[in-house]
């Protein structure tokens, strides 16, 4: 039976969720465990309860919304994304995957379908790094990439810990968040593209074959300060000039990489003492470097480190290099992509294979089970800004394709000689 998601209902819910924000429309701001984030969680759980779906939360605040299957002992098929939003963001990043996933579950139930396997929607905690400086916190912990001790050590800008901030319904030890590899059968995430390719080519659907992964680094340069007029140029050990040279090395390493997908960004620069008439003595850089090709990424990072050391030695500046995180890229499951492509063809949607240069919770779910992503176009590729936009038609196509693909995955036979959890 064809599945028919209620798109007016979904669009209304996207609009209502966007109103739960620390900043007025059209901006959306929902930082992890802020009043707005907690209100959005409560609102989402109420929508799930209205649909008659079971809900639960884990110890870090990942939310799980479940459509039962006819064989409840089988590992579920899962979908999901996030509802937290960086300051001054938009209404569609993450939320299309969460509310589109909820609508897909409702469409399956309202069509009278009972999937063989349960289908579970996951609202992941803190996909954005705003609170603790690390992205995909919930899915990292589910996959075991970030352990309980590492999570306990996290502090926000005010020195508050994860355990201090988590709401009262997030009970239990943080160790309980990590899942076994057999917990989920398959995972597929719906998301706006956050790039211009689909809109530019007039393509309905992007089927993601690879997800680029970041390595993030914090570099501190310690030089010698002094009065801007009193210290001669030949006597200077300017921390900022060393850092500036390194930022240009980051750019060159990305541009000269053999991989077309290499990108490098120096996104944080803090200069002290920060006075026009004082030589910079202390500089902090934070660098994001990512690729779908792990070997190419690591080779470029090695180059940056070697050249940074030479620059600092030449300038008489001390360099401290710390890794914030370094994650391997993910390859999406070909069988899920093929199934989604067949469904797209049956629904009359044009589609193309592509990569995701942004990373998502799918990057970590791929460590737990076969995983894939569905992209829909967004206007001009804009994201993380108030004018982020996906059309009703694009949202409808993505949600409909997600619903059909989830149901097909849930009804797949067991793999041979592979017992379920």
pLDDT digits over 107-164, tens only?
A: 999 999 999 999 999 999 999 999 998 999 999 999 999 999 999 999 999 999 999 9
Q: Are 282 and 385 within one domain?
A: no
Residue 419 lies in a domain: no
Closest by Cα among 151, 144, 126 to 136: 126
CATH classification of the domain holding 145: 3.40.630.10
pLDDT, one tens digit per residue, over 212-249 is 988 999 999 999 999 999 999 999 999 999 999 999 99
Q: Are 142 and 106 within one domain?
A: yes
Residue 225 CB neighbour total at 10 angstroms: 18
pLDDT, one tens digit per residue, over 290-300 is 999 999 999 99
CA distance 221 to 76: 49
Supply the pLDDT for residue 171: 86
CA distance 254 to 271: 24
Q: Are 240 and 358 within one domain?
A: no
Q: Are 77 and 202 within one domain?
A: yes
Supply the pLDDT for residue 416: 75
Q: Are 180 and 226 within one domain?
A: no
Q: Are 104 and 178 within one domain?
A: yes
| Rounded mean pLDDT, 320-346 | 96
Q: In the 8-state DSSP scheme, what is residue 194?
A: S
Residue 256 CB neighbour total at 10 angstroms: 10
Supply the pLDDT for residue 181: 92
Interaxial angle between packed helices 95-110 and 35-50, expressed in degrees from 0 to 180 and rounded to the nearest 10: 10
Q: Are 21 and 157 within one domain?
A: yes
Using the predicted structure, report yes or no on whether residue 40 has a pLDDT greater than 70: yes
Q: Are 11 and 79 within one domain?
A: yes
Q: Are 72 and 200 within one domain?
A: yes
Q: Are 363 and 318 within one domain?
A: no
- Domain end marker among 326, 351, 381: 326
| Rounded mean pLDDT, 93-103 | 98
Structure tokens at 55: 């809900």
Using the predicted structure, report yes or no on whether residue 421 has a pLDDT greater than 60: no
* Side-chain half-sphere exposure of 101, counting CA atoms within 13 A: 32
- Domain end marker among 287, 306, 326: 326
- Domain end marker among 302, 326, 350: 326
Residue 134 lies in a domain: yes
Contact in structure between 255 and 265 (CB atoms under 8 Å) = no
Reported as a pLDDT band with limits 50, 70 and 90, residue 374 is very high
Give the helix/strand (H/E) hosting 143: helix 137-143
Q: What angle do CA 189, 194, 198 make, to 5 degrees?
A: 90
| Rounded mean pLDDT, 336-348 | 98
Q: Are 51 and 87 within one domain?
A: yes
Residue 420 lies in a domain: no
CA distance 394 to 398: 6
Supply the pLDDT for residue 362: 98
Closest by Cα among 413, 398, 410, 414 to 189: 398
Number of domains observed in the structure of the chain: 2
Cis status of the peptide bond prior to 273, with omega within 30 of 0: yes
CATH classification of the domain holding 240: 3.30.70.360
Closest by Cα among 360, 403, 381 to 193: 381
Using the predicted structure, report yes or no on whether residue 417 has a pLDDT greater than 90: no
- Please give the residue range of the domain that contains residue 291: 213-326
Using the predicted structure, report yes or no on whether residue 402 has a pLDDT greater than 80: yes
Share of the chain above pLDDT 90, in %: 95
| Rounded mean pLDDT, 172-178 | 96
Residue 1 lies in a domain: no
| Rounded mean pLDDT, 263-287 | 97
Using the predicted structure, report yes or no on whether residue 420 has a pLDDT greater than 70: no
Q: Are 297 and 355 within one domain?
A: no
Reported as a pLDDT band with limits 50, 70 and 90, residue 1 is low
Across all residues in the chain, what is the average pLDDT?
96
């Amino acid at each position: 039976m064809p599945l028919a998601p209620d798109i007016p209902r979904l669009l209304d819910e996207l609009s209502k969720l966007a109103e739960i924000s620390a900043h007025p429309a059209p901006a959306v701001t929902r930082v992890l465990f802020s009043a707005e984030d907690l209100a959005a969680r409560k609102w989402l759980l109420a929508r799930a309860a209205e649909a008659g779906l079971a809900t639960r939360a884990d110890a870090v605040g990942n939310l799980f919304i479940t459509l039962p299957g006819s064989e409840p002992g089988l590992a579920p098929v899962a979908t999901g994304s996030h509802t937290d939003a960086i300051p001054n963001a938009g209404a569609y990043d993450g939320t299309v995957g969460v509310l589109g996933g909820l609508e897909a579950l409702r469409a399956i139930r309202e069509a009278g379908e009972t999937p063989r396997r349960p289908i579970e929607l996951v609202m992941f905690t803190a996909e954005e790094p705003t609170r603790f400086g690390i992205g995909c916190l919930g899915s990292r912990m589910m996959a075991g990439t970030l352990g309980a001790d590492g999570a306990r050590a996290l502090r926000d800008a005010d020195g508050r810990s994860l355990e201090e901030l988590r709401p009262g319904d997030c009970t239990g030890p943080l160790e309980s968040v990590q899942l076994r590899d057999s917990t989920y059968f398959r995972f597929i995430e719906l998301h706006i593209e956050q790039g211009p390719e689909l809109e530019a080519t007039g393509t309905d659907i992007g089927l993601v074959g690879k997800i680029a992964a970041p390595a993030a680094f914090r570099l501190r340069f310690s030089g010698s300060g002094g009065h801007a007029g009193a210290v001669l140029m030949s006597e200077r050990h300017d921390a900022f000039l060393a850092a500036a040279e390194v930022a240009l090395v980051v750019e060159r390493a990305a541009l000269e990489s053999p991989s077309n997908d290499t990108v490098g960004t120096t996104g944080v620069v803090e200069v002290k003492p920060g006075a026009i008439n004082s030589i910079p003595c202390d500089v902090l850089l934070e660098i994001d470097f990512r690729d779908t090709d792990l070997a190419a990424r690591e080779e470029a990072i090695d180059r940056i480190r070697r050249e940074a050391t030479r620059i600092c030695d030449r300038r008489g500046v001390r360099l401290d290099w710390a890794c914030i995180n370094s994650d391997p890229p993910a390859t999406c499951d070909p069988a899920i992509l093929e199934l989604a492509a067949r469904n797209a063809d049956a629904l009359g949607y044009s589609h193309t294979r592509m990569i995701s240069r942004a990373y998502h919770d799918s990057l970590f779910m791929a460590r737990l089970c076969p995983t894939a992503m569905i992209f829909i176009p967004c206007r001009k590729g804009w994201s993380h800004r108030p004018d982020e936009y996906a059309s009703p038609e694009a949202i409808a196509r993505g949600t409909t394709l997600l619903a059909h693909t989830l149901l097909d995955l849930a009804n797949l036979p067991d793999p041979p000689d592979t017992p379920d959890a």
